[in-house]
Amino acid sequence: MSIVQKGICQIEDLDERGRGIGIFEGHKISLPYTIHGETVEFDKHTYRRRSNYTLNKILKASPSRIQPLCKYFGQCGGCVLQHLNLQEYTKFKESLIKKSLADYQIQTNLLPIINVPPGNRRRANFEAVKKEDKLFMGFHKLSSHKIVDLDSCPALLPDLSKLIPNLKSLLSNILDIRQKAKIFVTQASNGIDVTFELYGQKVLSDTQKKQIETFAEKNNLIRSVFRARKFIDIVYQIEEPYVIFGDLKVPVDAYCFLQASFESDKILQNLILKYSSGKKGVDLFCGRGTFLLPLSQHYSMDGFESDKHAVEALSSIIENLDINVTKQDLFLSPLTSRQLSIYDFAVINPPRCGAEAQIIELAKSYIKRIIYVSCNPSTFARDAKILIQNGFTLEQVQGVDQFYWSHHLEVAGVFSK
Q: Give per-residue pLDDT as tens, 386-408.
A: 999 999 999 999 999 999 999 99
pLDDT at 305 over 60: yes
Residue 268: phi and psi, rounded to 5, are -70, -40
pLDDT band at 268 (very low <50, low <70, confident <90, very high): very high
Q: What percent of the chain has pLDDT over 90?
A: 93
pLDDT band at 46 (very low <50, low <70, confident <90, very high): confident
Please give the Cα distance from 147 to 254 (Å, whole number): 21
pLDDT at 113 over 90: yes
pLDDT at 328 over 60: yes
Mean pLDDT of 53-58: 92
User: Which candidate in 79, 256, 286, 375 is catalytic?
Assistant: 375
**CA-based nearest residue to 343, from 383, 310, 295, 386:** 295
pLDDT at 181 over 80: yes
pLDDT band at 324 (very low <50, low <70, confident <90, very high): very high
3-state secondary structure 206-235: HHHHHHHHHHHHHCCCCEEEEEECCEEEEE
Mean pLDDT of the chain: 96
pLDDT score, position 1: 53
Please give the Cα distance from 80 to 64 (Å, whole number): 15
pLDDT score, position 49: 75
pLDDT at 223 over 70: yes
pLDDT at 185 over 70: yes
pLDDT score, position 13: 94
285 is in an annotated binding site: yes
Residues in the chain: 417
To the nearest 10 degrees (0 to 180), the angle between helices 158-174 and 206-218 is 160
- How many other CB atoms are there within 10 angstroms of residue 89's CB atom? 21
pLDDT at 291 over 80: yes
pLDDT score, position 133: 84
Q: How is residue 87 annotated by DSSP?
A: H
User: In the CATH hierarchy, which top-level class contains the domain 123-242?
Assistant: mainly beta
Q: pTM of the prediction? A: 0.95
Mean pLDDT of 29-52: 90
**N- to C-terminal Cα separation, the chain:** 59
Mean pLDDT of 32-40: 96
pLDDT band at 322 (very low <50, low <70, confident <90, very high): confident
Mean pLDDT of 53-78: 94
Q: Is 286 a catalytic residue?
A: no
Please give the Cα distance from 81 to 33 (Å, whole number): 7
**Domain parsing of the chain, residue ranges:** 3-64, 90-118+258-416, 123-242
410 is in an annotated binding site: no
Mean pLDDT of 262-287: 97
C-alpha dist (Å) from residue 266 to 116, 287, 330: 11, 16, 26
Pick the CATH number of 90-118+258-416 from 3.40.50.720, 3.40.630.10, 3.30.70.20, 3.40.50.150: 3.40.50.150
217 is in an annotated binding site: no
Domain 3-64 and domain 90-118+258-416, same fold? Reply is no
Please give the Cα distance from 45 to 39 (Å, whole number): 19
Q: Which residues lie closer than 8 Å to 218 by C-beta, 6 or more apart?
A: 166
259 is in an annotated binding site: yes
pLDDT score, position 317: 93
Mean pLDDT of 352-365: 97
Pick the CATH number of 3-64 from 1.20.1250.30, 2.40.50.840, 3.40.50.2000, 2.40.50.140: 2.40.50.140
pLDDT at 155 over 70: yes
